[in-house]
Homo-oligomer: A and B are copies of this chain.
């Protein structure tokens, strides 16, 4: 796991007078083992498969802790359940593009976007602090070639496809 995360978490834990527990550590590890987004229940499933299983409650509590520490961000993908994104430690200012066809989420950074938004914010009389951009878009590959591997993969995996609005 990224040593940055390790140390930032330790900092936070000590500053708050909290303790180190095997359950919490194992959940944190499961979160940052990949760069995938997840819901609380998906994470619980992931943790269930490790040697050190934790209760749902502890999973929820650990998520809250990490969000409070700024190591994990809640993002809005339009789902009913809350979705979490573990990649803000590495890319503090990334944006999300959600494919309308297959639901795949693409993360991207763009300094021009950030700059322009900050400009607009100042023009309105505010000091920019955080920005969240979600773009919903259709897959060109699907439109031009009639097929897109992501869509096929999603169907095979039985993923819930996004509701067209």
Contact = CB atoms under 8 A, between A and B. Distances in A.
Contact of A138 (B97, B117, B126, B139): B126
Number of copies: 2
B135 A130 contact: yes
A113 B113 CA distance: 7
Interface residues of A, number: 38
A129 interface: yes
16 contacts: A76-B76, A97-B124, A97-B126, A99-B126, A106-B124, A108-B124, A112-B116, A116-B116, A126-B138, A127-B139, A127-B143, A128-B135, A129-B138, A130-B165, A131-B134, A132-B136
Interface of A: 67-68, 70, 76, 95, 97, 99-100, 106, 108, 110, 112-113, 116-117, 120-122, 124-141, 143, 165
